[in-house]
Amino acid sequence: MQFSMRPFLWDSAVTFRRGTVEKASFVLLSQLDIIVTIFALYFGFCELNPLMRSLLDSPIQLLLAKCAVPIFIAWAMPGKLLLPSIAILFFSVGWNLKEMLLCLL
């Protein structure tokens, strides 16, 4: 009998039943990222990402990119596969907060 981890890994795909913590973390960090971006823009900073900079002109597209897309990704992906993205988002939000605080002090 051959044991495969593949069915266990994909059990949480296209659902929120398994990997809920990872999926919720991914969505919440995405929301925190847009909040930090809005505060940074309010304080006079500029968006360096050209794709996101173009979306800032259209609030509907920005909401889709920062709200609907992360929810769809979290729903479609297994929770364990979101861990690298969660780490990158956590680092990015932390870095942006640090830079804002250092510049505003």
DSSP letters spanning 53-90: HHHTT-HHHHHIIIIIHHHHHHHHS-GGGGHHHHHHHH
pLDDT at residue 89 in the model: 94
Tens of pLDDT, residue by residue over 66-104, are 888 999 998 888 888 899 999 999 999 999 899 888 987
Q: Taking the domains of the chain in order of start, what are their residue ranges?
A: 19-104
pLDDT at residue 88 in the model: 94
What is the residue whose two structure tokens read 């069915």?
7
Exposed/middle/buried for 100, CB within 10 Å: 0-12, 13-18, 19+? middle
pLDDT at residue 45 in the model: 87
